[in-house]
Amino acid sequence: MVTSTLCCANNSTLRILTMICPKCGSTNDKVIDSRSAHNGRAIRRRRECYGCSYRFTTYETIEAPLQVIKQDGSREEFSKEKLVNGLRRACHKRPVSISVIEDLVMSIQHHFEQTHLREVPAKEIGGMIMDKLREIDDVAYVRFASVYRKFTDATQFADAAHKLKTSN
Ligand SMILES: [Zn+2]
């Protein structure tokens, strides 16, 4: 995608995004029609290439934020801040800089963005953090792992309690 500029009457600059023409490869096209699509979740644009007059369609959609599946099955939006805060607690008074923590969280976020997953179990994110944290700081790793393990044990306990209930 290439950005071209057009000059308006009031001298303000209007940025227009153009697509590469699938037929001739030109990056100059005009939008001839825009309309709502997929029940308003997308915008469908008919475009015409200035180079060869070929007409093609593009869809503009909202990129849904990554959802984290919690132990109880509920979903929560992936929060970079939340992870950074949790890691800062684990790294309290440890020789780990905030930028190292932020890089770790960013690398996890990028990992899931690249896999194009919409939903990731919290467990999987926790496991990835533990793997990376182990290489960064032993104490922070143990602290994080103890909180994380307590979390998984609590669900295992809930599962066991649930099984007892249903077997009665
Ligand atoms: Zn073309």
Tell me, in angstroms, the distance from the centre of ligand 1 to residue 42's CA: 24
Q: What is the pLDDT of residue 88?
A: 92
Q: What is the pLDDT of residue 38?
A: 78
Tell me, in angstroms, the distance from the centre of ligand 1 to residue 45's CA: 16
pTM: predicted TM-score of the whole model, two decimal places: 0.54
Tell me, in angstroms, the distance from the centre of ligand 1 to residue 143's CA: 58
Tell me, in angstroms, the distance from the centre of ligand 1 to residue 40's CA: 29
Low-confidence winner among 49-58, 88-97, 138-147 (lowest mean pLDDT): 138-147
Average pLDDT over residues 92-97: 93
Q: What is the pLDDT of residue 163?
A: 53
Tokens of 70: 């919690």
Tell me, in angstroms, the distance from the centre of ligand 1 to residue 61's CA: 24
Tell me, in angstroms, the distance from the centre of ligand 1 to residue 47's CA: 10
